[in-house]
Amino acid sequence: MSESSDKAAPSRRRRHRGTGRGDSRRDELLHVASELFAENGYRDTSIADIAQRVGVTQQALLYYFGSKPALLDAVIDERDGAAVAFAEELAAIGGFDAIRAIPASARRNVAEPNLVRLFAVLVAENLPQHAVAHDHFVARYRRLRRIVAELIAEGQRTGEFATDIDPILKAAEIVAVIDGLNTQWLLDPDDVDIIGATEQFAEGLAGTLRARA
């Protein structure tokens, strides 16, 4: 999951060959930052904590990323997009097969709790309009809803899905269930069967979409 896409570095110039091969120190910092942001949130994680865990000083981290918000951007760029990519996979499948594939997201999430936690925490932290990454998450959810809504609308066009469903409302619901189950599961993994709940949700959803008016 950690492809080092060699983005424009915030600091002035490139440090080595631009061919995209691992800048190991930078990648290490990125990885640890993502872990600590997931555990403690952005605000409650100091760049010194991150640097220390990697074994360098805070100033070395700043050499790579320039500032703490820039580090956050880098983390988000590297690790977000999984959800959107998954939604696009579903859309590519289409129809009831896509609905049946929804629980795969729960399975992915269970396999990567830290990634899930990272975004759960970041989204909540960026609810206020003035937050650093607020606009990023607004755009992300809009995209997510649009992709899923289009999947539903397409199924309605082909006659597979019932037409008495508002695609965009249903899309918001689907995204909401996945997110909400993530939250409950992160809080209390032992008491929440996220895979089972997602499966049962998908079944019910299939029934709703199949239903005649």
Partner DNA sequence: GTCTATAGCGAGATAGAC
Partner DNA sequence: GTCTATCTCGCTATAGAC
Is 162 one of the binding residues for DNA (CB under 7 A)? no
Is 53 one of the binding residues for DNA (CB under 7 A)? no
Here's the x/- map for its own copies, 56-95, by CB under 8 A: it reads as: ----------------------------------------
Is 7 one of the binding residues for DNA (CB under 7 A)? yes
Is 56 one of the binding residues for DNA (CB under 7 A)? yes
User: For residue 62, how many other CB atoms are within 10 A of its CB?
Assistant: 17
- If contact means CB under 5 to 8 A according to the sort of partner, which of DNA, its own copies, none does residue 176 touch? its own copies
Is 141 one of the binding residues for DNA (CB under 7 A)? no
Is 49 one of the binding residues for its own copies (CB under 8 A)? no
Burial group, residue 142, by CB count within 10 angstroms (0-12, 13-18, 19+): exposed
**Spatial distance between the Cα atoms of 170 and 119, rounded to a whole number of angstroms:** 22
Of the candidate spans 56-64, 99-107, 181-189, 191-199, the one that interacts with DNA by CB under 7 A turns out to be 56-64
Applying the rule CB under 8 A, the residues between 142 and 161 that interact with its own copies are: 142, 145
Segment (H or E) for 71: helix 68-79
**Residue 74: which of 21, 126, 37, 109 has the closest Cα?**
37
Here's the x/- map for its own copies, 3-42, by CB under 8 A: it reads as: ------------------------------------xxx-
Is 68 one of the binding residues for DNA (CB under 7 A)? yes
**Spatial distance between the Cα atoms of 103 and 97, rounded to a whole number of angstroms:** 11
Q: Which amino acid is at 118?
A: L
- If contact means CB under 5 to 8 A according to the sort of partner, which of its own copies, DNA, none does residue 56 touch? DNA
C-alpha triplet 83, 87, 88: angle, nearest 5°: 115
Is 146 one of the binding residues for DNA (CB under 7 A)? no
Shortest Cβ 67–DNA spacing (Å) = 4
Q: b/e string for 10-36 if b means 16 or more Cβ within 10 A? A: eeeeeeeeeeeeebebbebbbbbbbbb
- If contact means CB under 5 to 8 A according to the sort of partner, which of DNA, its own copies, none does residue 25 touch? DNA
The residue behind tokens 């006659």 is 159
Token pair for 41: 């949130």
Binding site for DNA (CB under 7 A): 3, 7, 10, 15-16, 25, 45-49, 51, 55-60, 62-64, 66-69
